[in-house]
Amino acid sequence: MAKITYLTKEGLEKLKAEFEHLITVERPSISQQIAEAREKGDLSENAEYDAAKDAQGLLELKISQMQEIISSSRIIDESKLDNSCARILSVVTIENTKTKQKMTYTLVPDQEADLKAGKLSINSPIAQGLLGKKEGENVEITAPAGLIKFKLIEIK
């Protein structure tokens, strides 16, 4: 049985759009590259053909993986989530207790993580340390850089 993947409605739509692009644009493009390489003669010594076949294999793998995620995904109902503690889709403001630097992140499923946009994967060390914590709590998180202490300032 496939593992259930939880996504926001926006995240699922983005994933479906990318999947559609792979099917309607990328797949035909690679098929065209293979056909052109085939026309160049001897396939046993044709590097273009080999590269196109490798790209096709990787594309088909990606399509298959995305299809599995889409078919096993469930949309998270944000209206039923509790804001009393940090959880998926919480917008949290944390402060590094050492540097006093404040950061605001939205805790999102892995597929939607984008640090530049302030979307932190729920499975990241920081998010894992924050889950279930309430406003005002101090949290010690073991990150690749070592032990970091944060204070959970606000949850929205």
Per-residue pLDDT of the chain (156 residues), as tens digits, is 557 888 888 889 999 999 999 999 999 999 999 888 888 777 777 788 888 899 999 999 999 999 999 999 988 877 777 788 999 899 999 999 999 999 999 999 988 999 999 999 999 999 999 999 999 999 999 888 889 999 999 998
pLDDT attached to residue 2: 59
Two tokens, residue 101? 């630097």
Q: Cα separation of 17 and 128, whole Å?
A: 29
pLDDT attached to residue 83: 80
pLDDT attached to residue 28: 96
Domains of the chain: 5-75 (1.10.287.180), 79-155 (3.10.50.30)
Q: Cα separation of 8 and 6, whole Å?
A: 7
Q: Cα separation of 41 and 145, whole Å?
A: 54
Q: Cα separation of 115 and 73, whole Å?
A: 22
